[in-house]
Amino acid sequence: MPTPTAATQLLRTRIGKVCVAITGTTAVEMIEKASTVVKETPFLEFRLDYLDKPLNAIPKLKQFFADNTAATGIATCRREENGGKFTGTLAAEMEILCKAAVSGFHIVDVELESAEALKKGELQKLRDTGVALIISHHDFTATKDLDKIYERMAPFQPDLYKIVPTAKNLSDNVTLMRFMERMRDEANIIGICMGDAGIISRVLGLRAGSAFTFAAATPGEETGPGQIAARTLIETYRIDQVDAATKVYGVAGNPIRSSLSPIMMNTAFRRETVNAVYLALQTAKVSDLLKLVQEMPIQGLSVTMPHKQEIMAHLEKTDPLSAKIGACNTVLRAQDGKLYGFNTDVAGIIGPLEKRMSLRGAKALVLGAGGAARAAVFGLRDKGADVFILNRTADTAQKLARQSGSKTIKKEAVAKTEFDVIINATPIGMAGQKAAPLLEGKDLNTKLVFDLVYNPLETPLIRLARQQSIPFITGVEMFVQQGARQFEIWTGKPAPEEEMLRVVIHSLRQQAEAAASESSQEPDKTAGTKRKKAS
């Protein structure tokens, strides 16, 4: 390993595991945010390229470091062509970074492209100020040859190499982490994959050898695609405690961004002192998921849309329920390394219903014919209910009806038929889904409505039921029930159901409040031009 510079040795005593990116269009705005963050996380990156006048802001930032001697600061002024916001010349970028270097900043970040374009000796002027140097490279399209990027950086002998590709699939995280593991003794590398599929590298990168990771100051202030808020990284993912013994679990599906499984399961792990972390695994392909499971290795999975049926073919064995339904939502890696499947969706659906009604002989309408619908249909039939299926694709509904001994029903017949319960097992009404509802108010000829969608708390279907004074069950009850059973399968411990329910409801209420606040500010947003986000 190269001999550490004085700057590098000093840094090792100062930097933490999480560096929080601070943005703002004025120095006052930046300092206000930094002053709040520094109390909890003293390692900060100031994105000078976000400022309208970076040079004018530096004296104020110098004062911030004089007032906050425990703070460690990175100065970044990324040019537009390299994914930043700075529209000035290379010479202007270097002037800003040199001024920052003598104004209290401890580290400066220079893009690889800028370093390569500088004349010989110009980078040395920056280093002569005594700051540590990061040479960074961002690829906003893919994860390519990381060794080649490192070879381009090496001649500049930076104190830290920042290599940030984009994860197009889950396996790209493995590529980056294997690279960092190989280079651990060679150089100080900061490695992160951008994008929704890159969350693995943001949480587990430290374990693979990343010098630190980056986080947003608050949700909505991300400086790169897929960046996580600092509080979420520290409190939900407990990044400070992730070590070689930490078991990794995750929820796999597409889309996965709005899933509350990570906050629910990580809360349960923390409450029961289980050394484990639970991640959102965004993937469109089961083959990509399986590669990650083998490479990581992943100890257990929650499987959601659209993979519940396809995953079945890749499991060593499943419980009789999963085999009967043809869909699995829970995977456990046994000590022999083989994957075993279970279905906890049925318990999540039947449990809440049996608290409210007898299912033997009950007349039930199930909307949908996918994995969740199959769990509902087979679970209800097993309890002796008379089940009707309504699905946009009639063939899929007829197949499920034949397999389960149920009946299909046409949309126009629903309003004329009395049901004991109507269950929505489609994603219609889910946050981010645009599909039109299957039923209207006049169709709710039922004693009870159960919507398996849990986000938002009040779905369009639940709102219809409320308006007509029909009793209802929200998807939160099903979500927590099935999650609690998964926790027990994986850990062998009783699940802290009350705590799991509390954190899910709290998160959903926060989201609803944020959405309401955002919609109330809509006219203000259109008045000004919105600055685009960049890493």
Residues that are catalytic: 308
Cα(458)–Cα(461) distance, rounded to whole angstroms?
A: 8
- DSSP state letter for 229: B
364 strand-pairing partners: 387, 421
Which residue type, as a one-letter code, is found at position 517?
S
Residues 6+ positions from 81 with CB-CB distance below 8 Å:
113
Q: In the chain, what are the helix, strand and coil shares in percent, each to the nearest 5? A: 45, 20, 40
| Strand ranges across the sheet with 386-390 | 407-408, 386-390, 363-367, 421-424, 449-451, 472-473
Nearest in space to 168 (alpha carbons), one of 203, 143, 137, 201:
143
Number of Cβ within 10 Å of residue 101's Cβ equals 22
Cα(199)–Cα(214) distance, rounded to whole angstroms?
A: 12
CA distances in angstroms from 300 to 43, 241, 316, 431, 489, listed in the order given: 33, 19, 14, 26, 9
Nearest in space to 302 (alpha carbons), one of 457, 507, 480:
480
The DSSP element (H or E) to which 125 belongs, if any, is helix 122-127
The DSSP element (H or E) to which 115 belongs, if any, is helix 112-117
Cα(534)–Cα(63) distance, rounded to whole angstroms?
A: 27
Number of Cβ within 10 Å of residue 465's Cβ equals 23
Q: What are the tokens at 56?
A: 């004018």
In whole angstroms, how large is the CA radius of gyration of the chain? 26
CB 373 within 8 A of CB 355: no
Cα(455)–Cα(441) distance, rounded to whole angstroms?
A: 21
Longest distance between any two alpha carbons in the chain, whole Å: 84
The DSSP element (H or E) to which 261 belongs, if any, is helix 261-271
| Contacts of the segment 151-154: beta carbons below 8 A, 24+ positions apart | 152/112, 152/116, 153/112, 153/115, 154/187
Q: Quick one: how far is CA 125 from the chain centroid?
A: 40
408 strand-pairing partners: 389
Q: What are the tokens at 100?
A: 């920052």
Nearest in space to 400 (alpha carbons), one of 371, 438, 359:
371
